[in-house]
Amino acid sequence: MPIFDYKGLSKGGKNIKGVVDAENMRVARQKLKKDGVFVTDIKDRKRASARKKKASTRGGVPLRDLALMMRQLATLVKANIQLVDALGIISEQVDHPALKDALADCKNMVNEGSTLNKALAKYPNIFSNIFVTMIEAGEASGSLDAILMRLAEFSEAAADLKSKLSSAMTYPIILLIIVLGILFGLFTVVIPKITVIFEANPNLTLPWYTQVVMDISGFMVNYWYLIIGLIGGSIYVFIAWKKTPAGSIKWDSISLKIPLFGPIIRMVAIARFTRTLSTLLTGGVPMLMAMDIVKNVVDNHIISEAIDDARSNISEGESISGPLKKSGQFPSIVIDMVSIGEKLESSKICCLRCLMPTIFRLRPRLKQ
């Protein structure tokens, strides 16, 4: 028999909540009414649990949707609207189903006494550790509206960076596909027709490189299925290898050295590092905790190891710029500005809060 969670008012006007089993929701309401309970909210426990699980496992919420949601929530909180009411208003306005369900559940949790950061932590596929940590700092410092606005700006900047990266990668990929298509057409259509002319003259002696091209063309025409199988098998083996810990680390190292794409991958990783660290430090997150978060944001094991070494140095009271320079993965402008920040004042965190936004604004110039 279904179980229903309910909230309501007793005959004395007190808020009460509990569970009741009934055949359906209508019968459950009737049972509670007979017991003198005025129902304000009732839901099927099984369906509610499934809905929460579905929302928590669905990711893929666009960054711009998150940015808009954070900006609207910041505006409402700054206008002294209660957080529960603000979450209710925002949950009705958003269009993305996973985000809508998550906000509705967060509203209920906050209404029951939970903090906002703990409520958001239930949905790691939607709200990353950066969001949870910064909101926790904002709630502790009483500056939640400012933190939410910074998160909105952070999400918008991340969305812009992702859009620029897609634009930068689209043209060379399309160009590569066109070139490969032309070569395939030459070897399977044009060269075989020319080969017929040469074969009609058996006494004609061809240069060795012409013969090689004709042999390759003949192989592609007669054994095209082997080529497709080889390409498909290679892709499968590469993906399986890349998923292994050793393969993932090796590929991250190789990807930074790929012509044309390598500098872009490095620039994106360093931009994420500087932008995220700046956002966390400005939001009042402790330096060591901020370094723990950003090492997972860069999405590259090689650069992540350099950041982890820098964190270890900080925990021992040493420099942050030394490990970054030793790794050889960071441009000199980043290392120099971090080093200057450490020398300006005794408080490294204070200096880096000021310098990291500057480094991020210079990210288009980050080149080895």
Residue ranges covered by each domain of the chain: 3-54, 60-157, 261-365
Q: Which helix (H) or strand (E) is 19 found in, with range?
A: strand 15-21
Q: How high is the pLDDT of residue 2?
A: 67
Q: Fold identical between 60-157 and 261-365?
A: yes
For residue 106, what are the CA distances in angstroms to 85, 103, 118? 11, 5, 9
Q: How high is the pLDDT of residue 179?
A: 93
CB atoms within 10 A of CB 229: 11
- The CATH class for the domain spanning 261-365 reads mainly alpha
The β-bridge partners of 3 are 21
Rounded CA-CA distance 106/113 in Å is 11
Question: CA angle, 273 as apex, 125 and 262 as ends, to 5°?
Answer: 100
pLDDT in tens, the chain (368 residues): 567 788 888 877 788 888 777 777 778 888 888 888 888 888 776 655 555 554 444 456 888 888 888 889 989 988 888 888 888 888 888 888 888 888 888 888 888 888 888 888 888 888 887 788 888 877 877 778 888 888 888 888 888 878 887 887 788 889 989 998 998 888 888 888 888 877 777 777 778 888 888 888 888 888 888 988 998 999 999 999 988 888 888 988 898 888 877 888 888 788 878 877 777 777 777 878 778 778 877 778 888 888 888 888 777 777 777 777 877 888 888 888 777 776 764 444 444 444 444 544 544 444 44
Q: Long-range pairs for 257-265 at CB < 8 Å and ≥24 separation?
A: 260/172, 261/169, 261/172, 263/367, 263/368, 264/165, 264/168, 264/169, 265/300
So what's the architecture of 60-157 in CATH?
A: Up-down Bundle (1.20)
Q: How high is the pLDDT of residue 235?
A: 92
Q: How far is CA 47 from the centre of its chain?
A: 29
Q: How far is CA 154 from the centre of its chain?
A: 12
Q: How high is the pLDDT of residue 60?
A: 66
Q: How high is the pLDDT of residue 229?
A: 92
So what's the architecture of 3-54 in CATH?
A: Roll (3.10)
